[in-house]
Amino acid sequence: MIAVAVIALIGVNVVRWATGVSDATTDTSPTTALVATGALRPSFELTDVNGNPYDFASQTRGQLTFLFFGYTNCPDICPIQMATLTAALSETSDVGSQIVFVTTDPARDTPDRLKSWLDNFQRPIIGLTGTPEAVAAAQKAALVTVAIAEPPGSDGNYTVGHAASVLVYGPDDTLVTAVPSGTTQGEWMDTIRGLTTS
């Protein structure tokens, strides 16, 4: 079912790109990115979906890296960002890169759930989790607004307000851009080509 939703989201973005209509986010939660271009690649350690420690700074050093903080129950921003980014990278297959997705909802995003969700996208994505404190520390290290979980509804479900931009770090280990929610596949492809030809 997730795969069908992802394919539909990619289709929507392709149509929007072709017609010039930009995506609009329905997320009214905090999405402010405090990080500025030129900031250093952040240093934090979390756990990957296989239970292994993952040191972000050392294991992505010197590589084009896309870092995103989100969660698998996200209704729109997270699946759209991952779908459009991975689709764009698949169309620019000569570009070597890492995509790292850090859950902002470690209570529900178990390693198995995170892995299953990320496996639906077109390019491999490194999924990371940890304690709420460790996840908050990772967001602070990346200089983005720390995610806030809304109170659960009567069914126990809840949304999590989180930074909506994908942080892009270059081989020189500095932030080169923060790509906002609503960026289409075509715009992603232009961004990626610009980063790899400059």
Q: Cβ neighbours of residue 156 under 8 Å, at least 6 residues apart? A: none
Count of structural domains within the chain: 1
Domain membership flag for residue 114: yes
Domain membership flag for residue 73: yes
* pLDDT higher than 80, residue 85: yes
Cα distance from N-terminal residue to C-terminal residue, the chain: 39
**Cα–Cα separations (whole angstroms), residue 77 to 32, 62, 110, 172:** 14, 28, 20, 28
CATH number, position 56: 3.40.30.10
- Identity (one letter) of the amino acid at 191? T
Domain membership flag for residue 49: yes
What are the pLDDT digits (tens) for 164-182?
A: 999 999 999 999 999 999 9
Distance CA 136, CA 133 (A): 5
Report the DSSP beta bridge partners of residue 8.
none
Report whether 82 contacts 68 (CB < 8 A).
yes
Domain membership flag for residue 106: yes
What are the pLDDT digits (tens) for 61-79?
A: 999 999 999 999 999 999 9
Domain membership flag for residue 23: no
Distance CA 167, CA 65 (A): 8
Distance CA 7, CA 183 (A): 16
Looking at residue 20, what is its pLDDT? 31
Report whether 182 contacts 77 (CB < 8 A).
no
Domain membership flag for residue 22: no
Distance CA 102, CA 128 (A): 5
**Cα–Cα separations (whole angstroms), residue 5 to 109, 115, 193:** 18, 17, 27
Domain membership flag for residue 141: yes
**What is the value of pTM for the model shown?**
0.82
The first and second tokens of residue 1, run together, are: 């079912």
Ordered alpha helix ranges (H), 92-127: 111-118
**Cα–Cα separations (whole angstroms), residue 49 to 10, 115, 125:** 25, 6, 10
Report the DSSP beta bridge partners of residue 103.
70
Domain membership flag for residue 24: no
What are the pLDDT digits (tens) for 126-149?
A: 999 999 999 999 999 999 999 999
* pLDDT higher than 60, residue 4: no
Tokens 């905090």 appear where? 30
**Which range marks the domain in which residue 193 is found?**
2-17+29-151+159-197
The first and second tokens of residue 125, run together, are: 């994505």
* pLDDT higher than 80, residue 12: no
